[in-house]
Structure 1
Amino acid sequence: MTAAPKARTRISPLGLTFLAVTSIGWGLNFPIMKYILSEWPPLSARGLSGIVGAAALALIALLQRQRLTVPRGMRLRLVLVSLLTISSWVAFMGLALVWLDAREAAVLAISVPVWVALLAWPVLGERLTALRAAALAVALGGIFILIGGNSLDASIGKLPGLLMALVGAVCVGLGTVLTKHFPLQMPPTSLAAWQIGIGCLPVAIAGIAFEQPNPAALSALGWASMAYLTLIQFCLCYVCWFVALERLPAATASIGTLLVPVVGVLSAAAMLHEPFGLREIIALAVALGGVALALRAQ
């Protein structure tokens, strides 16, 4: 009787491998998306690649013999959660990168688990402890160190991007909490296909309507970057993420995603030659510390 719980809580090496693939893939997305913005507008790049990625995930689900039909009672919840977790993140983070460096966007992404911890109080009834409040303060402190820049003018110039990234992070946090409150019981790959498709559709429509993207504007490297966003970010990483969740405790998976901003900051320095010095290291360490406090408070 005692062996079963131990088996369930044992860390799976295969689960850790899939988690590492997810975190590295999502981390590399920040500099790649920043590069795309030099050739294509943000809503079109993010929305259209997501639509193609959703179609590919649907095909993968069919090959896995997963059902794609959505139960009638789940449809409204699926749309709401998809708009919060996918649409808001894809749109707001894409727009934020117009004003922010890739490394700055990566650090802002760290705040998502903190917002989850805070929003779980009114939605799920999980008490807001002093430790959770301290976690938010510490995480925001790290963000302030990085976004603050070397002058007030530089900080004000980044304000639109900062606000958009934070709105996106808060929306993702709310969508995550609502998913816990109203579970979406579907096969994982099918669920990812629906969520990404529903979430990216309005973003793609807005991009086509207002940005009028021109495929001829994409260079060979631009097309390769779009392929990465579609096949790696939306397909491979999401499939690996759901596989990791099946094999790892939720807390372990949450802590593992802290690798995402680290990869984002380091890859931005290597690929885009963005600054990486003492200030970036301190900001990353402080923000990660805030999230670690939030996870400890769970």
Structure 2
Amino acid sequence: MSFAHLLLALAVIIVWGTNFVIIKLGLGELPPLLFATLRFVFSCMPWLIFVRRPAVPWRLLIANGFFLGFGLFGVLFIAMRSDIAPGVASLLVQTQAFFTIVLAMLLLGERMRAFQATGLAACVAGLAMFFFHVDASTTILGLVLTLACGLSWAIANLVAKKAAQIAPSLNMLGFMVWSSLFAVPPLLLASLFFEGPQRIADGLAHASAFGWAASVWQGVANTLFGYGAWNWLLARYPAATISPLSLLVPVVGMASAAIWFGEPLPAWKLEAGALVLLGLMTITLWPRLRARFISA
């Protein structure tokens, strides 16, 4: 990988990792479901005018929009309002790799291999440590909601995988733009029901320039730049070169939360995070390392 392309990959990782700090700050100005709604408004508008609809069934666009929009970010924003610290959230949403394997076994008939079982065991051990150390900043409810986000992200992964099978030349940026359109209605309806028209009106009326900038950042920087640049790199380099770099996202997330909010990093949290990351690394990297040793 060229140095310029490595810098591009690191820029995506920094954007994704520091986004949890931006989310927490944005939640200080906007109700969570309204904030999530605005994120996906800016992910699809006005880009729908310029990006052709992917040649995949509407049901896949709708499903991806729902699980990525409401299931991942809607629930994540609710959890991060007061029930989970940003650094912990950045780590736990990565359990989508854990849930993707489990769902592939249940729905696609895939068999769990030894290295996957080892990685999953490490993830479970790390997660158990978080559940044994709940406090005012990270509650049981927050942990459960964030794990539900990982599950929703895993379902969205399977939806995207199905879309890629139907259309092998699928433009994933276009898929994200058009599926974002279908994230807006369930998020807006949930906001109207749970937060109410008055709270929505107050949030929109009193949001500062930073609140609006945080919403645009969610839609444009994280979704369009992040996924666009990431998929651009994946089109030019082997997945084995690019994908493992995503494991740096929770590292950046926990570090940025510690720097900005002073989020504590006691020994148990570092150990729990290391176990989860070790499990994810085992699941992600072991097949490639094994293939390299065999070929050598």
**TM-score of the pair, normalised by structure 1:** 0.83
Structure 2 counterparts to residues 232-271 of structure 1, below 5 A: 232-271=221-260
- State the partner residue of 1:222: 211
Relative to structure 1, the CA distance from residue 100 to residue 192 in structure 2 (aligned partners, 3 Å threshold; closer, same or farther) is same
Q: 1:190 aligns with which of 174, 193, 213?
A: 174
Task: State how far apart, in whole Å, the 2-side matches of 1:161 and 1:80 are.
Answer: 24
Determine whether 1:284 maps to 2:273: yes
Q: Distance in 2 between matches of 1:274 and 1:230?
A: 26
Equivalences for 1:1-298 in 2 at 5 Å? 11=1, 15-59=5-49, 62=50, 66=51, 68-71=52-55, 74-98=57-81, 99-149=83-133, 154=135, 158-183=139-164, 185=167, 186-211=170-195, 212-213=199-200, 214-296=203-285
Q: Distance in 1 between matches of 2:46 and 2:242?
A: 25
Cα displacement string for residues 232-265 of structure 1 (whole angstroms, at most 9, x for unaligned residues): 1222212112212212323333311111111110
Q: Could you tell me which amino acid in structure 1 is paired with residue 257 of structure 2?
A: A
Measured in 1, the distance between the counterparts of 2:137 and 2:207 equals: 31
Deviates more, 1:199-208 or 1:256-265: 199-208
Name whichever of 100-109 and 75-84 sits farther off. 75-84
- Counterpart of 2:79, as a letter, is A
Report the CA distance between 1:147 and its aligned residue: 4.6
Verify the 8 A CA contact 1:123 1:178 in the aligned structure 2: no
Instruction: Check conservation: 2:42, 2:216, Cα contact below 8 A.
Output: no
Using a 3 Å threshold, how does the CA distance of structure 1 residues 256 and 217 change in structure 2: closer, same or farther? same
Q: How many residues align?
A: 278
| TM-score (structure 2 length as normaliser) | 0.83
Q: Deviations over 1:36-70 (max 9, x none)?
A: 222211111111121122214435xx2xxx5x234
Aligned residues: percent identity?
25
CA spacing shift, 1:69–1:156, aligned 2, 3 Å: closer
SS in 2 for 1:25: helix
Moved more, 182-191 or 114-123: 182-191
Aligned position for 2:291: none
Structure 1 residues 38 and 142, CA gap change in structure 2 (3 angstroms): same
- Residue 16 of structure 1 contacts residue 244 of structure 1 at CA under 8 Å; is this kept in 2? no
Structure 2 gaps of 5+ residues are 288-296
Question: Judging changes above 3 Å, is the alpha-carbon distance between structure 1 residues 51 and 156 closer, same or farther for their aligned structure 2 residues?
Answer: closer
Asked if structure 1 preserves the Cα contact closer than 8 Å seen for 2:130 and 2:269, the reply is: yes
Identify if the C-alpha distance between structure 1 residues 180 and 228 changes in structure 2 by more than 3 Å, giving closer, same or farther: closer
Q: Do the aligned residues in 1 keep the contact of 2:20 with 2:253 (CA within 8 Å)? A: yes
Separation in structure 2 between the aligned mates of residue 253 and residue 209 of structure 1, nearest angstrom: 41
Structure 1: runs of 5 or more not aligned: 1-10
